[in-house]
Amino acid sequence: MIRIAAFASGTGSNVANLIGYFKSHPSITVSLVVSNVANAGALEKAKANNIPVLVLPKEKINDGDFIVSEMQKNKIDYIILAGYLKMIPLKLTKQFHNKIINIHPSLLPKYGGKGMYGTAVHKAVFENKEPESGITIHFVNEEYDKGEIIAQKKVAILSTDKYQEIENKVRALEQEWFPVIIENVILSK
Ligand code: GRF
């Protein structure tokens, strides 16, 4: 079995989707859910599925040695970032080169970087009257924001769409594509 750890800080709709998708998968399993937020929705979903959780206290969030050793303890092969809002320690990116995958709710390089997460992304896309938005799934490596793009999926924005509609459309893409693309990456190695 190839073992995934999912890292999340938010409501956890992506983690919930991953857990559901891989639940009866023959060779890939979500084995650990990690969060820096004690009441993150992702942790509830994990517990409901008997998946171990790890809550990172403040002083451990940047402790590469600690996180690497937790990953080793849990025999983790891939790390999936699903709305995880903290930096990944260098030590972890070194240990998991091309084995950490992130999802970003825009078509990078547009609307990436500082402050660009959650609703802020969709508001900026709306204010700039973009004709389209989408998701970017990419590797997270030592050089921040330089990880190779694995896939982008686009959706058209209508002139009547407000930022909430844009967010809903992007979230629908996340649900449709994130698990499938993770599966493809893992099985093609
Ligand atoms: C998603 O939009 C994801 O693309 C981004 O953070 C959000 C997390 O949402 N990186 P959720 O916690 O999975 O519902």
The C-alpha angle with vertex 7 and arms to 54 and 66, in degrees rounded to 5, equals 50
From the CB of 166, is ligand 1 less than 6 Å away? no
**Please, which pLDDT band fits residue 147 given cuts at 50, 70 and 90?**
confident
The residues annotated as belonging to the active site are 104
Q: Which residue's CA is the closest to the ligand 1 atom numbered 2?
A: 105
For residue 179, give every residue at least 6 positions away whose Cβ sits within 8 Å of its Cβ, in sequence order, or none. Answer: 17, 18, 21, 22
Residue with tokens 């969060």: 35
Q: Model's pTM, two decimal places?
A: 0.96
Strands 132-139 and 100-104, by their bridges, are antiparallel
If one residue of 19, 103, 166 were mutated to test the ligand 1 pocket, choosing by the most ligand atoms within 8 A of its CB, it would be: 103
Residue type, 88: I
Q: Which residue's CA is the closest to the ligand 1 atom numbered 7?
A: 83
Return the pLDDT at 29: 98
Return the pLDDT at 150: 97
Q: What percent of the chain has pLDDT over 70?
A: 99
From the CB of 40, is ligand 1 less than 6 Å away? no
Residue type, 12: G
What counts of helices (H) and strands (E) characterise the chain?
6, 7
Residue 142, pLDDT above cutoff 90:
no
Return the pLDDT at 145: 63
From the CB of 147, is ligand 1 less than 6 Å away? no
Residue 101, pLDDT above cutoff 90:
yes
From the CB of 14, is ligand 1 less than 6 Å away? yes
For residues 69-91, average pLDDT: 96
For residues 26-47, average pLDDT: 96
